[in-house]
Chains A and B, each alone.
Chain A
């Protein structure tokens, strides 16, 4: 079977040649099958978000290649890669345009990967479709299509960003700690919505998280990163049986006995 995502030997160093030089990715290799939902954990600076940003094309990589569904996207600019990707960010402010209405944000996402022209930015039919989509979220947003997104709560904004990411059925959904800025209850609801959307559209997804429990309970595969490399990769039944304690032990082994950072401990 063809892979949905292939990453070969990814390298990225920030601030090369300066005192702040930081090797962020040090030979990342990863293959995802269609429909894989992989959770990514690791300490601060392990390269989790950096991997997602490398795939999204936020900056050029130093070495390696990124192939999505057979298309080499390594040299494509960020806005062209967007045709293949859905992205949700840690900061709820990042994924939406605050001064535009809910429906306008969705309409922009509905044209991802398409040529934008002089046609009207949103059609009557779209409005109807969006209303239906929003009602599935059960957040009451279907009555607020013309409200500015800036007026919504962080959780509501993340839910809309998720909807936007899935609107064009991306080849790959990138969730970058997208519940980290939310309160526990809202975070749980947003994770639920993520599962729902990934399941409905059979999306291939990568989710970075600091919460080990979430990493275990969501998705069919889990990878742990450390110092710019993948040090642990588990899927299927073996993943289901994982305990937080197992992950902590793995992490200690990798970091040479050093304890997991506070946030990971708290997630226990």
Chain B
């Protein structure tokens, strides 16, 4: 035990912190997309795993072809939107249940991504100039500039999403996610709205994939595996911690969106902490799943427990007053 504790080096944990923050901010963009489908549209969209990898694949291949890394992100976003479009069409035009439609897209995107890259993994040249993000920036002397840039990008995205959901179409998306029957009765074409929301969401995911591939210096066909779980973890952590803080404020929705990024950062800090405790890295996906399961279960169990308390004994065993 002493040997184990002695082997833990606090300096190492703190040293990893800036990297966790950068990673959290980048994956936060994806989590923002997950928030749109999971929380606003109420659609379990697993397309994410495919579109994240696709954003990365498109970004890396275009950088290799000589396009500027910032410009490339537009195409990564567009690629993600196409993925969302595919899921949307499978669901609305062909009537396939949402979760299955998104799995179909996700699995087919694996092949598409392989085709885009020609092999399972492609890297960006070491000396590539103009990258939007890179691990090298984290330890550079002017790393604060890099973080400033990332934060500005994230805040700009929050502002854009906040604006989008304040417009007429955004309101229609929220209404559709909340009550489809009401939305249709108010003249909203819920099918078109769902496709639009899926495209916005997966556009953000593709963008996140494009930035992350630059950060990593490579794209991998497997890089999106389990991404949805990380996105959900970020969303749920942000809700559990900041939900009450955000509610009732003037622009509560903007705070909620920004909180998703903090949730993503907290997720990566926890992740790093668990790794630092010498948990074998192959358990990390299991760890992610458990985090999500626990945080999803808390509100449910809390409700169940309090209801039972309120009902007392009368819940299941109501005595028939007529019986002797």
Listed in ascending order, the chain A residues whose CB lies under 8 Å from chain B are 56, 77-80, 82-83, 85, 87, 89, 93-100, 104, 107-109, 111-114, 116-122, 164
* Contact in complex: B186, A116 (CB < 8 Å): no
Interface residues of B in 159-182 (CB under 8 A from A): 166-172, 174-175, 178-179, 181-182
Q: Does B150 belong to the interface (CB within 8 Å)?
A: no
In the complex, the chain A residue whose C-beta lies closest to that of B168 is: A116
With A79-B189, A112-B186 in contact, do A97 and B166 touch (Cβ < 8 Å)?
Answer: no
Q: Does B285 belong to the interface (CB within 8 Å)?
A: no
Q: Which of B166, B179, B185, B187 contacts A111 (CB 8 A)?
A: B187
Complex interface: chain B residues within 8 A of A95 (CB): 182, 185
Complex interface: chain A residues within 8 A of B181 (CB): 89, 94
Nearest chain B CB to A152's CB is how many angstroms away? 14
In the complex, the chain B residue whose C-beta lies closest to that of A117 is: B168
With A97-B174, A97-B178, A100-B174 in contact, do A79 and B187 touch (Cβ < 8 Å)?
Answer: yes
Q: Which of B172, B174, B175, B186 contacts A82 (CB 8 A)?
A: B186
With A56-B185, A79-B184, A108-B172 in contact, do A120 and B166 touch (Cβ < 8 Å)?
Answer: yes
With A95-B182, A97-B178, A97-B182 in contact, do A79 and B188 touch (Cβ < 8 Å)?
Answer: yes
* Contact in complex: A98, B178 (CB < 8 Å): yes
In the complex, the chain A residue whose C-beta lies closest to that of B185 is: A87
Nearest chain A CB to B184's CB is how many angstroms away? 5
The interface centre, meaning the residue of A89, A96, A97, A118 with most chain B CB atoms within 10 A of its CB, is A97
Nearest chain A CB to B169's CB is how many angstroms away? 5
Nearest chain A CB to B179's CB is how many angstroms away? 5
* Contact in complex: A164, B186 (CB < 8 Å): yes
Q: Which of B170, B183, B190 contacts A97 (CB 8 A)?
A: B183
Can you offer 30 A-B residue contacts whose CB atoms are under 8 A? Answer: A77-B189, A78-B184, A79-B183, A79-B184, A79-B188, A79-B190, A82-B185, A82-B188, A83-B187, A85-B185, A94-B181, A95-B182, A95-B185, A97-B174, A97-B175, A99-B174, A99-B178, A107-B171, A108-B172, A108-B175, A108-B183, A108-B188, A112-B187, A114-B187, A116-B168, A118-B169, A119-B167, A121-B166, A121-B167, A164-B186
- Bitwise, B254-277 to A at CB < 8 A (1) or not (0) is 000000000000000000000000
* Contact in complex: A116, B188 (CB < 8 Å): yes
Give me the 4 closest cross-chain CB pairs, A-B, nearest first: A82-B187, A121-B171, A116-B168, A97-B178
With A79-B190, A94-B179, A99-B178 in contact, do A121 and B185 touch (Cβ < 8 Å)?
Answer: no
Nearest chain A CB to B160's CB is how many angstroms away? 12
Listed in ascending order, the chain B residues whose CB lies under 8 Å from chain A are 166-172, 174-175, 178-179, 181-190
Nearest chain B CB to A121's CB is how many angstroms away? 4
* Contact in complex: B168, A118 (CB < 8 Å): yes
State the CA gap A122–B170 with chains docked (Å): 11
Complex interface: chain A residues within 8 A of B174 (CB): 97, 99-100, 104
Complex interface: chain B residues within 8 A of A116 (CB): 168-169, 171-172, 188
Complex interface: chain A residues within 8 A of B183 (CB): 79, 97, 108
Nearest chain B CB to A18's CB is how many angstroms away? 19
Q: Which of B178, B184, B187, B190 contacts A100 (CB 8 A)?
A: B178
Complex interface: chain A residues within 8 A of B189 (CB): 77, 79
State the CA gap A104–B179 with chains docked (Å): 13
State the CA gap A85–B183 with chains docked (Å): 13
* Contact in complex: B171, A108 (CB < 8 Å): yes
Nearest chain B CB to A160's CB is how many angstroms away? 11
State the CA gap A113–B174 with chains docked (Å): 18
State the CA gap A107–B167 with chains docked (Å): 11
State the CA gap A164–B188 with chains docked (Å): 14
Complex interface: chain A residues within 8 A of B187 (CB): 79-80, 82-83, 111-114
Complex interface: chain A residues within 8 A of B172 (CB): 108, 116
State the CA gap A113–B188 with chains docked (Å): 8
Complex interface: chain A residues within 8 A of B168 (CB): 111, 116-121
Nearest chain B CB to A79's CB is how many angstroms away? 5
State the CA gap A98–B190 with chains docked (Å): 17
Complex interface: chain A residues within 8 A of B169 (CB): 116-118
In the complex, the chain A residue whose C-beta lies closest to that of B165 is: A121
State the CA gap A99–B175 with chains docked (Å): 8
Nearest chain B CB to A173's CB is how many angstroms away? 12
With A108-B186, A112-B186 in contact, do A96 and B170 touch (Cβ < 8 Å)?
Answer: no
With A98-B179, A100-B178, A108-B172 in contact, do A117 and B167 touch (Cβ < 8 Å)?
Answer: yes
State the CA gap A80–B175 with chains docked (Å): 17
Known contacts A111-B168, A114-B187, A119-B167; 5 additional CB pairs below 8 A are A100-B174, A108-B175, A112-B187, A116-B168, A118-B167
Complex interface: chain A residues within 8 A of B186 (CB): 82, 108-109, 111-112, 164
Complex interface: chain A residues within 8 A of B175 (CB): 97, 100, 108
* Contact in complex: B188, A94 (CB < 8 Å): no
The interface centre, meaning the residue of B169, B170, B179, B189 with most chain A CB atoms within 10 A of its CB, is B179
State the CA gap A242–B184 with chains docked (Å): 37
State the CA gap A114–B187 with chains docked (Å): 8
State the CA gap A107–B171 with chains docked (Å): 9
State the CA gap A119–B174 with chains docked (Å): 15
State the CA gap A96–B183 with chains docked (Å): 8
Complex interface: chain B residues within 8 A of A85 (CB): 185
In the complex, the chain A residue whose C-beta lies closest to that of B171 is: A121
State the CA gap A109–B175 with chains docked (Å): 11
Complex interface: chain A residues within 8 A of B167 (CB): 117-121
